[in-house]
Structure 1
Amino acid sequence: MSSTYGKILKIATFGESHGLGIGVVIEGCPAGLDFDPDFIQSELSRRKPGQSRITTQRREADEFEVLSGVFEGKTTGTPIALLIRNEDQRSKDYSHIAAQYRPSHADYTYQAKYGIRDYRGGGRSSARETAARVAAGALAKLLLKKVGVSVQAYVSQVGTLKLEKSYQELDLAQTETNDVRCPDAAMAQRMFDYIDETRKRGDSVGGVVTCVAQGVPAGWGEPVFDKLHAELGKAMLSINAVKGFEYGSGFAGVEMYGSQHNDAFFTDENGKVRTSTNLSGGIQGGISNGEAIYFRTAFKPVATIMQDQDSVDQFGEKVTVQGKGRHDPCVVPRAVPIVEAMTALVLADFYLRQLANRI
């Protein structure tokens, strides 16, 4: 089923943008994990709309309800169901496109697949669905924290503005100090102004989110089809508006010789096998090698813009699609917690799979 993800730690999300609510059922979470509702709520608040003038002005508190799977502050080992109610739908904003196909949206493809579609905010194809993933990802973060694994993402590019510093050169603690979620204050201000000017023109712009997972021990992942980087790529590409994924040296690695690209092994003062460089991005043969895992995820410009666009309707007639409603001019500031959530879900699943791999 297309709404489920994971092998041991499994999630199934449900709901639509303009329905009564959205939610997630989490299966496979071990019993006895401390359930921290404040932390989960804080993660949802990082993703929620209406954070600043460069995000959609839809007003949703995104407060969640626990329906099952938690008792006296701990997980019980049974399915955990979390519900987030929709509170600020304006379905009338979408009545004008009930029969129209918005350029670069999922309107036409959903109609082609199902023969019916929920045009209100895109229905199931809306990025609002990702709130359920963030709630589940927060629980995965709590599980990973017990084994010393952290996941942190940040905005590294907006349009043509690119942060050239690597994650090692940045203070990632500064990521949440600005609305763009870029850990470099000067670049964050330039990015904010860039997005704001784009918004004023009724247009949109894309960007890149870089993510770093630290503390992952060697040995997580699977050979062949379930490679760790393959699952991370699938998880990222399942996020709305994502157009690209690269880990480690990525595409830049093709310009290097093997003698430049190979990560040499050495043994540190604690007897631990390490690599002197990390162009592999912490993954070799589809399995973690103990170094930091880092990757970049590219997001396209948001498809809905406040400009007239040529299209056709469901009858094949030419129409002019008018941009209305409340939309992000750039998705990457709110995408940071989504990228972290999906990364945490992938890593937590591989952690549990690794426990089953060895005696």
Structure 2
Amino acid sequence: MAIDIKDQVVQEIKSSAFGLFSIQLDESTDVASCSQLMVLARYVHSGSFKEEFLFCSPLETTTKASYILEKVSSFFESENLLWDNICGCCTDGAPAMLGTKSGFQVCVKKRAPKVKGIHYMIHRQALASKTLPAPLGKVLDQTIQIVNFVKGGALNSRLFKQLCTDMDAAHYLLLFHTNVRWLSRGNVTERIFELRDELKLFFEVQGKMEFFAWLDDEEWLMRLAYLVDIFEQLDKLNLQMQGRNTNIIKFMDALKAFMSKLKNWKRKVNIKNVAMFEKMSSVLVGGGEDKVLPQFAKNEILQHLIHWKMNSADIFLNSVIVKMNFWS
């Protein structure tokens, strides 16, 4: 079935308008620590654009541009696809892809001088969002330490699972953090926040008072709640910019809307209103009286939002430039 689908895609590419098509490459490491090269193709078929998976090939040795080019060339030769018919090449921002001397884009342009080379704009947005003020970054690091302690040993995992089962918790497992997965931080912090009471009891029984002190600290919990809320918003933005038929126009619309949200959030935080952050609001409200947003939390949130807005503006401007270059 896989061979038949591949043959259908190749035949559609060959019969596309003027025989032109573009490719998109991504190199990622799977759960077995093996590098996999994935290539997708976009072309015109029956009067409409189609995006199809072209092939996946393991990178057994290095992930250098020359080796990636060899893999792609080998596939093209076996399927009788011509380099001259490529009109666009999209890659991520890795040096092996974008290097000015020996990057994959340079190698492709040597074979197809007219090809337009771009890289994923979403990667730039994901990288820009990784910068956190020092106190928030410290809480994220400590959250990862908590996860690693509980899931790092089989015994701890079993004991914590049993504890959550006995307490009728909504979940009984924590999630590992992975830097290369865009949705990882949001899922990890949200699970820690939801199981904070179970974790406090677990660490108290285990005698890990350092971890217990973090979860029992109101300031630490406020920062964690903010991270959960802000990562949730970021995950929504990331999901809007993925999937089939996503293009630079939709990307710009989503990013522009997000920039407007950042501006509105900044205005509300200035007056100590965090109603748009659900988890943080739940931490601030308690005991029958509304707690005021502390000054330290206000300063850290504003610093983070201002940094995000500046980086989002830079990415938006680059998106406009890419769009203009594409249509030119």
Q: TM-score, normalised by structure 2?
A: 0.25
TM-score between both structures, scaled by the size of structure 1: 0.23
Mark the structure with the bigger radius of gyration. 2
**Relative to total residues, which structure has the larger helix share, 1 or 2?**
2
Greater strand proportion: 1
Q: Which has the higher contact order (CA 8 A, sep 6+)?
A: 1
